[in-house]
Chain A
Amino acid sequence: MRNRRLLAALAVCLVALAIPAAGSSKSTGLPTAIGAGEGSLNLVAWEGYAEDQWVKPFTAATSCKVNRKYAGSSDEMVSLMRSGGGSQYDLVSASGDASLRLIYGKNVQAVNPALIPDFKNFIEPLKSPPHNTIKGVHYGISLQWGPNTLLYNSAKVKPAPTSWAVLYDARNKGKITVPDNPIQIADAALYLMATQKSLGITDPYELNAAQFKAAVALLKKQKPLVKKYWALASDEIDLFKNGDATLGASWPYQTNTLKAAKVPVVDLIPVEGATGWADTWMLSAKSKHPNCAYKWMAWVSTPKVQAQQAVFFGETPANTLACKEMEKIAKGSCAQYHADAPVSYFNQIKFWKTPVADCGNGKQDCKDYSAWQQAWTEVKG
């Protein structure tokens, strides 16, 4: 045991010696150039974010062997980045509801966007979004984004729904599926924002005690109607394919997969609007392969890889030049996933972010994420 600890200590020293070799500026501590690759790279990713079609060319070009670990939820991503002191993984494809927790937990480190050539082509709101940039310091490179949609089986649900109300309607008892995720409280808040204006909700992620209580009460009322809270995307696909559910909150990925399997499904953004996600590649605070990590962030920002991933997963690339590449892969996909949409479209989606006590109005009366999580446990029962 003592020997192993000694070895571990030696290894840590070696890594510590190796990092400055990448070249860093004295003032900010950020690297100013990408050094030679370390030969391997450990990713924590959503499945579909590290597919062979763009991982293999990356490894061929950089000699960085990619090890992938898929996470099922934002919470799992956070716990993976914190397990083993965070030295196990180099990069994580964190969504907005996880990114701030990682930053404030000091699990990720600042990065230098100047080292990512395609950064300048990103859609403007994703260059320094509040979920990954604090006081001008970038803690990651934006990747892709998309809305959480309303999905329904068009052969069984008539008339076609236009509002989230169908998910709270007793007539659909036992046919509904919604994500098993505390951030789902925001979906209820979004619905209340449109239907109960007296509550005065302005941001579904900044809820004071009364607003929070109303959203949780709505979800508790919804529970008897729900067939299953889906935890994995494949859960929802199975539920729709095998007739257990006909209505649900979804990602475009499920729609794509179900359509490919000839299930008559349609998805839409209902009249109340939608929540959405914007993902960021974030660099672990104790990354052992920072150069490979920078190479990866640069690689996945290129228009072609952005397009490949967007079409595969059914989401919208951060890089505005990806539109043309998407058309090459699948005709019409650029418009389908709004890769050519103006910033106004982007702005109508309420993107996931970590709920914090500080509402931004100077008061500290908002419910924070641990309150959200405990409330969600109580909703599920």
Chain B
Amino acid sequence: MLAPPVVWLGVLYLAALVLLFVAAFWKVDSFTGDLQHVWNVDNFTHIFQSSTYRAIALRTIGIAAAVTITDALIALPFAYFMARIAGPRTRAMLFVAVMVPLWSSYLVRVYAWRLILAHDGALNWALHGIGLPSVSVSYSNWAMWIVFSYIWLPFMILPVYTAIERIPDSLLEASRDLGARGARTTRKVVLPLALPGVVAGSIFTFSLTLGDYITPKLVGGTGSQFIGNVVYDSVGVANNIPFAAAYATVPLVVMAAYLLLARRSGAFEAL
């Protein structure tokens, strides 16, 4: 039963990854772009010593975390409404409503956001209409935060919904019967049971943000490079796959730590 997935991922995918990461210890002839199979750790020393690469890694991780928290906060009440308050018809409609954005091209949705956030865009137009001062969020880290939160929101809503849907009514009723008020029931019963869903969703939102390079390119400003941008640029320029692979170990380590943490908290087992 296990053989096919293990062969696929273990042999095909891991082999591909190893092939790539071994290159992190090689170097490249800067002009011809030929790989030189000389074992060295220059790429790693360069990354650790340069404040630029540190800042880029911290920015990427920080925004990925902010996006994950934002999505969790948006998704929890929404998923609760969807799972426990909406009737079957409304729930079906909400389910479709969450899926539809996933089907409309990611790139085109990012483009739509550019129009909304632009200096003379829809947002400032609306703010003007109700007599508020305009905001200047276009092409900045704020814009990236908003757009990423938007793009990956469905990936948070769906697992959270599944988790909340599975909470038996009887548990909530018991909590109420025992005298717990709404807020207390939420804190003591709903949130702990919804947590596995949030963790599952956060793996998507966090890792998808961590690995993106197109959204920073399209809506980011001057100080908006992500790890993915550096990796992409390194591949294109001078074909520096060793440096790209070395820098790519940063998200690899971050995700490994994140998955371990998720497992430690016990939430992973309950997934």
User: Are any A and B Cβ atoms less than 8 Å apart in their complex?
Assistant: yes
Closest residue of chain A to B236 (Cβ to Cβ) is A75
Q: Are A78 and B119 in contact (CB under 8 A)?
A: no
A60-83 vs B, CB cutoff 8 Å, 1 = contact: the mask equals 000000000000010110110010
Counting chain B residues whose Cβ lies within 8 A of the other chain, the interface size class is: 20 to 34
Q: Are B31 and A356 in contact (CB under 8 A)?
A: yes
Q: Are B31 and A242 in contact (CB under 8 A)?
A: no
Residues on A with beta carbons closer than 8 Å to the beta carbon of B50: 378
A381-B237 CB under 8 A given contacts A105-B32, A244-B139? no
Residues on B with beta carbons closer than 8 Å to the beta carbon of A78: 33, 236-237, 239
Q: Are B31 and A369 in contact (CB under 8 A)?
A: yes
The reply to whether the CB of B173 lies closer than 8 angstroms to some CB of chain A is: no
- Which residues of B25-67 have CB atoms within 8 Å of chain A's CB atoms? 30-34, 50, 52, 55-56
The reply to whether the CB of B261 lies closer than 8 angstroms to some CB of chain A is: no
Closest residue of chain B to A182 (Cβ to Cβ) is B237
- Which residues of A237-254 have CB atoms within 8 Å of chain B's CB atoms? 238-239, 242-244
The reply to whether the CB of A196 lies closer than 8 angstroms to some CB of chain B is: no
A229-B30 CB under 8 A given contacts A78-B237, A82-B239? no
Residues on B with beta carbons closer than 8 Å to the beta carbon of A229: 222
The reply to whether the CB of A335 lies closer than 8 angstroms to some CB of chain B is: no
A351-381 vs B, CB cutoff 8 Å, 1 = contact: the mask equals 0000011000000000011100100011011
Counting chain A residues whose Cβ lies within 8 A of the other chain, the interface size class is: 35 or more
- Which residues of B198-243 have CB atoms within 8 Å of chain A's CB atoms? 217-218, 220-223, 225, 230, 233, 235-240
Q: In the complex, A226→B199 CA distance in Å? A: 38
Residues on B with beta carbons closer than 8 Å to the beta carbon of A295: none
Q: In the complex, A228→B118 CA distance in Å? A: 12
Q: Are A368 and B52 in contact (CB under 8 A)?
A: no
Q: In the complex, A107→B33 CA distance in Å? A: 10
* Total of A-B residue pairs, C-beta within 8 Å: 94
Q: Are B235 and A368 in contact (CB under 8 A)?
A: no
- Shortest C-beta distance, B233 to chain A (Å), equals 7
- Shortest C-beta distance, B226 to chain A (Å), equals 11
A368-B222 CB under 8 A given contacts A227-B139, A231-B217, A244-B139? no
B233's partner among A106, A238, A243, A373 (CB-CB below 8 A) is: A373
A105-B222 CB under 8 A given contacts A79-B235, A79-B239, A244-B138? no
The reply to whether the CB of A345 lies closer than 8 angstroms to some CB of chain B is: no
A243-B118 CB under 8 A given contacts A369-B30, A378-B50? yes
Closest residue of chain B to A107 (Cβ to Cβ) is B33
Q: Are A101 and B33 in contact (CB under 8 A)?
A: yes
Q: In the complex, A68→B221 CA distance in Å? A: 30
Q: Are B118 and A377 in contact (CB under 8 A)?
A: no
Closest residue of chain B to A103 (Cβ to Cβ) is B32
The reply to whether the CB of B77 lies closer than 8 angstroms to some CB of chain A is: no
Known: A82-B33, A243-B119. 6 other contacts (CB 8 A): A104-B33, A105-B33, A107-B33, A224-B222, A369-B31, A377-B225
